[in-house]
Structure 1
Amino acid sequence: MEKLDAAPVPLPAHTPRGSQAWPSVTATPDPWRVVRHGTDPAGFAQDESLFALSNGALGVRGGLEEAPGTTQGSFLAGAWERSPIGYHERFPGFAAHTDTRIPVADAIGIQLRLGEVPVRLSEGEWLAFQRELDLRTGCYRRHLRWRAPSGATLDIRAERLVLLEEPGLLAIRYSVQSDDYAGPISLESTIDTGRDAVEQGFDPRIGTHVDGGFRTLAAAADEHRAWLVQETAHSGVRVACVQQHRLGDALRCRYGGHAPHGVAQIIEGELAPGRQVTLEKYASYAWSGPHEDLPAEALRQQAGRALQRAGDAGFDALLATQTAALAPLWEQADLAIDGDPSVEQALRFNLFHVYQSSSRDGRASAAAKGLTGEGYEGHYFWDAEAFMLPALVNVAPELARSMLTYRHATLERARLHAREMNHGRGALYAWRTISGDECSSYFPSGSAQYHINAAIAWAIRLYVDATDDQAFLVEKGAEILFETARVWLDVGHFNPRRDGAFCIHAVTGPDEYSAVVDNNHYTNRMAQKHLRDAAAVARWMAEERAAEFDALAARIGLGADEITAWTRAADGMHLPVDPILGIFPQDDAFLDRPRLPPRPRVEGKRPLLLELHPLTIYRHQVCKQADTLLALMLAGDDVDREAKRRNFDYYASVTLHDSTLSASTFSVMAAEVGYADQAYRYFLDTLRVDLDDLHGNAAHGVHMAAMAGSWLALTWGFGGLRVVDGLPSLAPSLPAAWTGYRFGLRWRDAQLRVEVTRQGVRYTLSGTRSLRFRHGGALQELTPGGSIDVPLATPARLPRPLKAVIFDLDGVIADTAVVHDLAWRQLASELGVPFDNATGERMKGVDRLGSLDILLERADRRYAEHERLALAERKNGYYREQIERFGPEQLLPGARDAIAATRAAGLKVGLASASRNASLLLERMGIADLFDHVVDAGRIARSKPDPEIFLAAARGLGVEPHECLGVEDAAAGVDSILAAGMAAVAVGDSPALAHADARIPNVAAFDIKHYTT
C-alpha cells in the first residue's frame, strides 16, 4: 500500500531490475500539499479516489490521462439511472426502484504516441512518479519520468482542475518533454463512453444491478471541437459533453471523428531533445433533469458556452480563479496544528473533499462517497445532515443551505414515502436516495430508520442558529420541520404500560446491528428535540411572521392541536435509565441480549454484516457504530458529564466501529468526558480512514462523513464546540501530542478565531458584529477586533465522591498468572494444541471456560460440552496443586498496604476475580479480612469483558457503579470496569491498557489519596 509522503514503494513487476522509484524528499509534510509517490498499480484505484476533483456537480477521479484504467470514472450529481428492485416476496411499501449514479462519458483521456508507436506505460520503465494535490489552489498535478522500451526518455506532466464556479467544467494542462527523443508525437484526446457502472458482487456497498444506463443520441468531432450527447434509458437524464483545446506553437489538430467508444481528436507535433509540447484540454458538461426533455442541441450549446469561456481565459487564469474560490474556505477554517503538520495536512485534505463534493445549486446533497467513486450507488444518507453539514456550517454556510434546499425540493417525495409507509399525513425522508424516493430494498436497516427526519430537523436548527437565516426558515425550513414532526405522532404513542410515556416502536437507529427495535434511544432523543423545535418554530412564526405562518398552516392543514401534541409527546418521551448500569439502554431489549462471543481476528477490516446472517447479529448485544453516544453528542445538553461517561464506558465495550461514522463520535464524546488519550486515538482513526485505507475500500470512493467527522473531532471534540440556547459554547482542551492548535468559527456575521496552547485559550473576533458565546459554561462577549484569554477546560476524569475500590486478583494483588500459564501449557501439551505467549496474553482476565475456548480455537477437532467441562476441571486441578503452597510471600509488593490504605480512607473494598479459587487464595495469603465483598467466576454467568462481575461486586458492597473505582491489569478487565460505568485504574504499561482512566506501573504505586482529593 502506498503511503503519504513516504519512502519509496516497490515498482510494478514490469520495472527492470536496478530501477528505483522516485524517492520522497518531503521529510516534514507540507500542510497544504498531499503528495504520494509509488508506482504499484495495486494502489492506483485508491489514489484515484484520493486525488478526485469535484465541484458538487461534476466529479472526476484521479486516473492517468494516458491509461485511465477500469476504475477511472467521471460522475455528475444529476446523472443517475432508475432500475426496478426485484423481490421474490414483495409486500406493501417495499421500495420499488433504486436510483444509481452512473458514470458519464469520461473526458480525461490523452493517448500518447511517439511516431506510430503507442505509449503503453506498463511496458516502459517508471524512473520517477509523483501525484500531488495542492489544497490552496484545488489543482491536481502529477509528474512521470518514463523510459520507453526503445530507450527514449520523456517527462510527462499533467495539471487538472474541476472548476468550482463552472458546474460542468474540467480543465487539463498536459505537457511532454523529451530528453533524447527526436521525431513526431501525437496525442489522441478522447471523450470515452466505454465505462459502465460497476456490477455488484458480494459486498453490497459497491456496485449495483443497473437496468438500462446511457445510450448515445448523437456524436461528432472535427478539428475544433468534439462532442456527444447521451441519455439514460429510464430516468430520462440527458448529458452533453463537449471538448476543445488550446495548443502550443508546436502542435496542430489534424483529425476529429468517432472512436470505438465515443469521439476523439488527433493532435500532432514534433519533439526534439530538451523541447516540450503542451496542450490545454477543456471539457464541459451540461445535463437535464429527469425526463426534462431538453433538446440535445440545447445541451450541446450550453456546454459549448462554458467551454468558450474557459478557452478564452486559459489554464493559468482558471487556476487563479480556483485559488480565489477556495480562499474563503481556508480563511474561515483558519486551521493550524502546532506540533504535527501531518495532522494539519490530513484535516485540510478531509475538509477540502467535503467542501468540493457538496452541492452548490440546491438540486443535490452530499453523497456518502461524494463524487469520488461508485460506493453506495451515489446515494444520499442521513449522515449528510448529521456529519457533513455541521462540519461545513461554520466554514461554508452556503453549502449547508444548499443541502437543506435539496431536502425541501424533495419534500413532496418524502410525503409520498410517508403514504407508502401508511402514514396518513406528514413526510418521511428516504434513508438512501438520489431523487427523493427510498432506494433501500432491505427495510429493517433502511426504511425503518425514521431518525433521518430528526437529523434533517436538527440540521435546520443548527444552520439557522449559525447563520440567522430566518428567510430560509420561513420559506423552506418550517415546512420541513412541521411535515416531518407529524410522523412522530403517527409512529409513536402514549403507552399506559409505561406510565403514559411516549414510546416509538419498530424503528432502527444509526446502529444497524440492532434493527426494528422499540424505543431506540437515539431515535427517541432526537425525535424529542425535533418535536420541541417544531413547536417552538410554529409559536415563533405565529407571533413574528403571522401571515406566512397562517398561509403555510392553511396549505398543509396544520392545526393548533397538533402543535400542542408535539410538545406533549416531547415532554413525555420515553428515555429510561437502566437502574443497575446507570446508562441509557440503546433500546428496550438491548441490555437483555447476550454479548457477541469473541471471534478470531482476521486480516483486514471486514464488517460483521458481511460475515454473519443479520438475525445472528440482531440477537446479540453488539453495535456497528455509535448510536446512544451520537444522541448525547447531538442532543445531550440536558445530560450531565458523569452520565455521559458511564454511557461512553459501556458502549465502548460493545461497539465494533464497522462503520466509518463511528470513530468521530467516540472521539468527541471521549474528549467531553475527559478521556484525552482515547479521544486522540479515535480522532486518528477518523482522520486517516482514506489516507491509510483503514477500512480497505477507499478505492470505491472516499468516506465523506468520516472526513467531516475529523473536523468535528477537532472542533466539537478538542474544541468542545456545542450550540446551547442558540449560542456557540466551547470548552477547548489540548491533546498531549500537540503544543497548540487553531481553528476558525463563522457565526452569523462574526469570525471567531480559537487559539489553544498549554497556557490557555485566546479568542479573537473579526467581522462586522459582536459575538456572545460561552467558554466552559461562562458567558463571554467580544466586539470586532477584540480578544480574550481564558484557561483551558479540564473535565473531571474520576468519580466524585468515591465510595469503593474493587480490585482484581491475578496480576494486581498476587502474581498467579504464571501458575495459570503453566497449567494451561500443561493441558495444551496433553491435547497437542499450540500455545504461545499471544494465546496466554489473550487469556488474561478471562474466566476458565472462556480461556479454554481460546485454547481450543487451534484444536484439530470440536469438543462436546461435557468434554469441555472435564478439560476445564483438569486444568483447575493442575492450578490448585500449585496454589496449595501459596502464602503471604506470594503477595505482590505493596499490595497489602494499598488495600489497607483504601480501608483506612473509609472506602469499601471489593474483589472481582475471574478465578474460581479467589477466596482460597485470599485466605492463603492472609488478607481475606481486608475485603468487604468477594465475587469470583463461580457467582456470575458472563466473564470479563462483560461488566457483570464488577456490577455484582458493587451490589455486594451496597454502592452505585459510578461511585466505584476498579483496579485491573488486563485489557478485558479494564473493558469490564468501564462497561460497568466505573472508573478504571490499569496496572502495567501495555498499550492495550491505554483506554483506562489512569495507569500505574504496579500496585505499590496505588495511592488512594490521588483518587479521593
Structure 2
Amino acid sequence: MHQDYIQPNPWSIIEEGFDKDRIKSSESLFSIGNGAMGQRANFEEHYSGATFQGSYIGGVYYPDKTRVGWWKNGYPEYFAKVLNAPNWIGIDLWVDGEQLDLNTCKKVVDFRRELHMKEGWYKRSFVAIMPNDVEVAIEATRFLCLDTDETGAIQYQIRLLNVDAEVIFLPYLDSGIKNKDSNWDDKFWNTTKITSEKNRAFIESHTMKTNFKVCTFMHSELFLDGNKSEIKPTSKKDELSVGHSYVVDVKKGQEVTLVKYGGYTVDRNHPADKLIEAADTVLNEVSSLGFDGLLEEQKKAWAQIWDMSDITIEGDIKAQQGIRFNIFQLNQTYTGTDSRLNIGPKGFTGEKYGGSTYWDTEAYCLPFYMATKNQEVARKLLKYRYNHLEKAIENAEKLGFKNGAALYPMVTMNGEECHNEWEITFEEIHRNGAIAYAIFNYTRYTEDYSYIPEMGLEVLIGIARFWQQRINWSENRNKYVMLGVTGPNEYENNVNNNWYTNYLAKWCLEYALEQLEHVRQQYTTDYKRILEKTQLTNDETGLWKKVAAHMYLPLSEEHGVYLQQDGFLDKDLVRVADLDKKERPINQHWSWDRILRSPYIKQADTLQGFYFFEDHFTTEELEKHFDFYEPFTVHESSLSPCVHSVQAAKLDRMEQAYTFYLRTSRLDLDDYNKEVEEGLHITSMAGTWMSIVEGFGGMRIRDGKLCFAPKIPEQWEMYSFKINFRERIIKVTVSQNSADFEIDSGEPLEIVVNEKPITLSA
C-alpha cells in the first residue's frame, strides 16, 4: 500500500486535514529551496510532537568522523554531513498566556498545506482551538527567493475568532540545532556572537573542523489590519538564540500579520568579517520591496524556469502532478549559478546520504540540465569534477594505485572520498565510468568539444589509468578480469566480473584513446601541455588498447545474455512476482546476508549498460536482456524505474513503460519505498524527466543529429516538452494521432523523426 493523501492537482501539492502521523512525511514533500539553501516544511510556531527539523546551506558541511566496527586500511577518515543550519523560520506565538502548539490543541480544523509549484511558494492554514478555548485562524506563507538567494520571506497572519486577547509574537533565530544523523553526537556549530538591533537580529557562528563562517539573520515587521504597526519589540537573548517579542492587544476578528525576512550570509561568498554588513545589505533590499513585491519577483523567476522546463500532460492529472513536482524540486536544488555546488541525492530536504555528490549527477541529472538550461550550466557540472581531479588521484593513491590513476569518490563534498561502507567505497568503482560517460554525453549533445582539450582529457587519462591498474590477467580465462566489485545493484557485493563495470572500463579505455588522438590532431598546444603534465607514454596507451581488446565479459550461452556477474546463475532464480508481498521491500524485511545470496536486483545493472550504450546493441539484444533481468528487479533504488521505463518504451511495451513512469514520478508523493520522511529522492527525479523525453519522446542524438521516435501512453491525450539543443529551442507535442515539432528562431534545423529526416524552420 502506498500513501495516498496528496490531492491530485496539476500545479500544486495539497494536503488537507491534520494528521500527526503524517507530519514528517509532509515536512519532506513540502520542502522549499533556491539552489543556495533549502528547508523542510517545519512549522514556524512551536510543535512538541514528532518532527524532523531541517534547514540547509549549499556547500556548508561537517566532516563527521567515520564510525565503523573494525577499521580497515584505506577507509575515509570522515563522512561528510550536510549540516542542519541555524533555524531562522521560528515564530513562537502566545494567546492569553497560552503557547500555540498544534500537538496540544483541543482541536485543529480546516488544516491545509499547499506547495504552489508554478509560483514557488508554500502556504499553511488552519483553525485551532487552544487548551484555553481561544479559537485562532492562522495563515502562514513562505518562500525562498530565487533572485536574492541568501534570503527567504514569511508572512504569518493570525485572526482571533471568539475573543479579544493579548497576543505575543516571538520571531527568533536559533543556533542550538543538531543533526539527526550525527555519528558521535558531536557539536557541529560554535556560536560566536549574537547581535540585536531594533527589528533585526544576527547570529554569527562557524562550523567545527571545516570552519565555515555563517551569519544567520532576520528582520521582522508587524501589521494590524494591513497597516504597519509602530509597536517596538523587546529583545530576548540567550547564549544560542535571539528573539524579538511583540505584545499586541487584539480584538476578535482583527487580523494581525508578522512579516519576517531571514536567511544566511556565508564566507564562501563574502569576507568573513563582513557577514553582518552583507546581511544588512540584503535585508535592506528585500524589506524595501516588501513581502508582496518579493512574491511578484518570485513568480516571475519561476515563470522563466517553467517556460523552458515544463512538461505538460493532458488527460492524467496524477502523472502531470508527478512530473511537475520532480522538475520543481530539481530546480529548487540546483540552479547552475555556482560551479562549486552540485546535486545531493536528498537535495535540501533531509540529511540521508550526507547531502553530498554521487555518480547520480553524471548518470541521471546532466541530461536534464543540458536540455532545460543553457549548456553553461551542464559545463559547470563537468568543471566541478575537473576541479576535483587532484583529489581523485589522492583517493586512488590511498588504495594503492599509482602514476596519476584517478578514482572519483562515491560520496564527496570537496573531492575527497567520504563514504564509509567498504563494499561501496572500495568496490562500487563504476562511478568512475559515469564521470567519463558524462563528458561523452555532453560533447555529443552540445557539440562543445572545447571542454575536452581544456579539462576533460586529463580526467579521462586519470580514469583510464585507474581501470588499467584495477584489472588483472587471468591465465585461466586468457582475458583481463575485474575482481571484488559492486555494480549499481548494491544487492550483490564483492562479486567478480560485474558485466556493467567491465563493459564500462573497456569503453572508458577506448574513449580515452580516441580523444587523445583527436586532441593530438586538432589541439596541438593543449596536447603538448597535457602530455607534459600527465607524463603519458606510448607504452601506457599501448597497454590500454590491449586491456580494452581482451576484457572478459561474462556471457551465458544457454540464456543468450550477458551475465550480471560470474555467479549469477548459481543463485536460486525465483522471480519477484513469486515473492510474498509481505516481505517487500526486502531491504526492510530480510537480513543483508539473505539479500546478497538472492537473485534480486536493487536497480538496473546490466540494463544500465544497455541504457548508456544503446547504440552498441540491437533492439533484439535489449529485449532479451530486459526479459531476463527485469523479473528479478525489485526497484528498491529510486534510480531503477526510470531506466526500465525508457527501455520498455523503446520495446513498445507502453503499459509497462507507463507503470514504471508513474512509479518514478510519484515515488515520493506516494511514498513507494516507505521512507519519504527522511527526505526526497532528488537525483532520481531527473530520471522521471528522462522517462518522458527519452522514453515516450524517444529523443536520442545519433550522428550529431537530434532524433525522435515519439509514442504516447493510452492514459494520456497529449504531452509536450521543450529542449534547448545547441542554443535552439525545440518544442515537441505528441497526441494520440500526431507529433508536432516547432523551432523558435534562427536557421532551419534538420532533425530525424521515426528514421526520416525533417527540416524545422522558425
TM-score by length of 1: 0.70
Query: Could you list the per-position Cα deviations for residues 467-499 of structure 1 after superposition, in whole angstroms to 9, with x for gaps in the alignment?
Result: 344444443333322222221111124555445
When residues 422 and 632 of structure 1 are mapped into structure 2, their CA distance, relative to the original with a 3 A threshold, is same
When residues 232 and 446 of structure 1 are mapped into structure 2, their CA distance, relative to the original with a 3 A threshold, is same
When residues 107 and 603 of structure 1 are mapped into structure 2, their CA distance, relative to the original with a 3 A threshold, is farther
1:818 corresponds to? none
The structure 2 residue matched to 1:630, chosen from 588, 599, 608, is 608
SS at structure 2 position matched to 1:241: strand
**1:681 alignment partner AA:** T
2:354 corresponds to? 377
C-alpha separation between the residues in 2 aligned to 1:98 and 1:5? 35
C-alpha separation between the residues in 2 aligned to 1:477 and 1:210? 40
2:301 corresponds to? 325
User: Retained in 1: the 8 A contact 2:139–2:158?
Assistant: yes
C-alpha separation between the residues in 1 aligned to 2:439 and 2:148? 28
1:90 corresponds to? 71
SS at structure 2 position matched to 1:743: strand
C-alpha separation between the residues in 2 aligned to 1:559 and 1:349? 50
User: Retained in 2: the 8 A contact 1:246–1:279?
Assistant: yes
1:490 corresponds to? 469
SS at structure 2 position matched to 1:111: strand
Structure 1 residue 721: Cα displacement = 2.1
When residues 529 and 754 of structure 1 are mapped into structure 2, their CA distance, relative to the original with a 3 A threshold, is farther
User: Retained in 2: the 8 A contact 1:99–1:435?
Assistant: no
Structure 1 residue 585: Cα displacement = 0.6
Structure 1 residue 310: Cα displacement = 1.5
C-alpha separation between the residues in 1 aligned to 2:418 and 2:201? 36
When residues 79 and 553 of structure 1 are mapped into structure 2, their CA distance, relative to the original with a 3 A threshold, is same
SS at structure 2 position matched to 1:460: helix
Structure 1 residue 624: Cα displacement = 1.5
The structure 2 residue matched to 1:239, chosen from 214, 228, 237, is 214
Structure with more relative contact order (C-alpha pairs < 8 Å, separation 6 or more): 2
Matches within 5 A, 1:40-189: 40-67=19-46, 70-122=51-103, 123-189=105-171
1:707 corresponds to? 685
Matches within 5 A, 1:314-713: 314-358=290-334, 360=336, 361-397=338-374, 398-424=376-402, 425-493=404-472, 495=474, 497-499=476-478, 501-563=479-541, 565-595=543-573, 601=580, 603=582, 606-608=585-587, 611-614=590-593, 616-713=594-691
Query: Could you list the per-position Cα deviations for residues 566-611 of structure 1 after superposition, in whole angstroms to 9, with x for gaps in the alignment?
Result: 4554444433442111111111222233336989746585443763
The structure 2 residue matched to 1:280, chosen from 244, 252, 259, is 259
C-alpha separation between the residues in 1 aligned to 2:686 and 2:195? 42
Structure 1 residue 650: Cα displacement = 1.0
User: Retained in 2: the 8 A contact 1:182–1:273?
Assistant: yes
C-alpha separation between the residues in 2 aligned to 1:727 and 1:312? 50
When residues 527 and 255 of structure 1 are mapped into structure 2, their CA distance, relative to the original with a 3 A threshold, is same
C-alpha separation between the residues in 2 aligned to 1:365 and 1:143? 34
**2:696 alignment partner AA:** F
1:302 corresponds to? 278
When residues 479 and 305 of structure 1 are mapped into structure 2, their CA distance, relative to the original with a 3 A threshold, is farther
Structure 1 residue 40: Cα displacement = 0.3
The structure 2 residue matched to 1:215, chosen from 190, 194, 198, is 190
Identity of aligned residues (%): 29
Query: Could you list the per-position Cα deviations for residues 348-373 of structure 1 after superposition, in whole angstroms to 9, with x for gaps in the alignment?
Result: 11111012112631112111111101
C-alpha separation between the residues in 1 aligned to 2:680 and 2:529? 43
In structure 2, list runs of 5 or more residues that go unmatched.
Answer: none
User: Retained in 2: the 8 A contact 1:111–1:188?
Assistant: yes
Aligned length: 750
SS at structure 2 position matched to 1:735: coil
C-alpha separation between the residues in 1 aligned to 2:745 and 2:296? 25
Larger radius of gyration: 1
SS at structure 1 position matched to 2:231: strand
When residues 304 and 413 of structure 1 are mapped into structure 2, their CA distance, relative to the original with a 3 A threshold, is farther
User: Retained in 2: the 8 A contact 1:212–1:234?
Assistant: no
Structure 1 residue 311: Cα displacement = 1.6
Structure 1 residue 53: Cα displacement = 0.9
Matches within 5 A, 1:200-211: 208-211=183-186
User: Retained in 2: the 8 A contact 1:61–1:372?
Assistant: yes
Query: Could you list the per-position Cα deviations for residues 168-223 of structure 1 after superposition, in whole angstroms to 9, with x for gaps in the alignment?
Result: 21211222233343233221001122321114xxxxxxx64453411211112232
C-alpha separation between the residues in 1 aligned to 2:354 and 2:40? 15
SS at structure 1 position matched to 2:218: strand
**1:383 alignment partner AA:** D
Are residue 311 (structure 1) and residue 293 (structure 2) matched? no
SS at structure 2 position matched to 1:393: helix
User: Retained in 1: the 8 A contact 2:38–2:56?
Assistant: yes
In structure 1, list runs of 5 or more residues that go unmatched.
Answer: 7-28, 200-206, 786-1013
**1:288 alignment partner AA:** D
The structure 2 residue matched to 1:37, chosen from 13, 16, 38, is 16
Are residue 196 (structure 1) and residue 178 (structure 2) matched? yes
Structure 1 residue 336: Cα displacement = 1.4
C-alpha separation between the residues in 2 aligned to 1:564 and 1:4? 60
**2:74 alignment partner AA:** G
User: Retained in 1: the 8 A contact 2:171–2:220?
Assistant: no
**1:345 alignment partner AA:** Q
C-alpha separation between the residues in 2 aligned to 1:605 and 1:308? 54
Are residue 257 (structure 1) and residue 236 (structure 2) matched? yes
Structure 1 residue 415: Cα displacement = 1.1
Matches within 5 A, 1:903-914: none
TM-score by length of 2: 0.93
Matches within 5 A, 1:672-821: 672-783=650-761, 785=762
**2:434 alignment partner AA:** A
**1:780 alignment partner AA:** I
When residues 560 and 57 of structure 1 are mapped into structure 2, their CA distance, relative to the original with a 3 A threshold, is farther
User: Retained in 2: the 8 A contact 1:101–1:378?
Assistant: yes
Structure 1 residue 259: Cα displacement = 4.2
Structure 1 residue 416: Cα displacement = 0.5
SS at structure 2 position matched to 1:105: coil
Query: Could you list the per-position Cα deviations for residues 825-857 of structure 1 after superposition, in whole angstroms to 9, with x for gaps in the alignment?
Result: xxxxxxxxxxxxxxxxxxxxxxxxxxxxxxxxx
Structure 1 residue 279: Cα displacement = 2.5
1:951 corresponds to? none
Alpha-carbon RMSD: 2.5
C-alpha separation between the residues in 1 aligned to 2:130 and 2:467? 67
SS at structure 2 position matched to 1:34: strand
Query: Could you list the per-position Cα deviations for residues 687-734 of structure 1 after superposition, in whole angstroms to 9, with x for gaps in the alignment?
Result: 111101111111110011332221111112111223333433321211
C-alpha separation between the residues in 2 aligned to 1:439 and 1:775? 45
C-alpha separation between the residues in 1 aligned to 2:758 and 2:477? 43
User: Retained in 2: the 8 A contact 1:338–1:739?
Assistant: yes
Structure 1 residue 260: Cα displacement = 7.0
1:987 corresponds to? none
Query: Could you list the per-position Cα deviations for residues 535-573 of structure 1 after superposition, in whole angstroms to 9, with x for gaps in the alignment?
Result: 333333223332223223322223455445545544444
Structure 1 residue 646: Cα displacement = 1.0
Matches within 5 A, 1:895-906: none
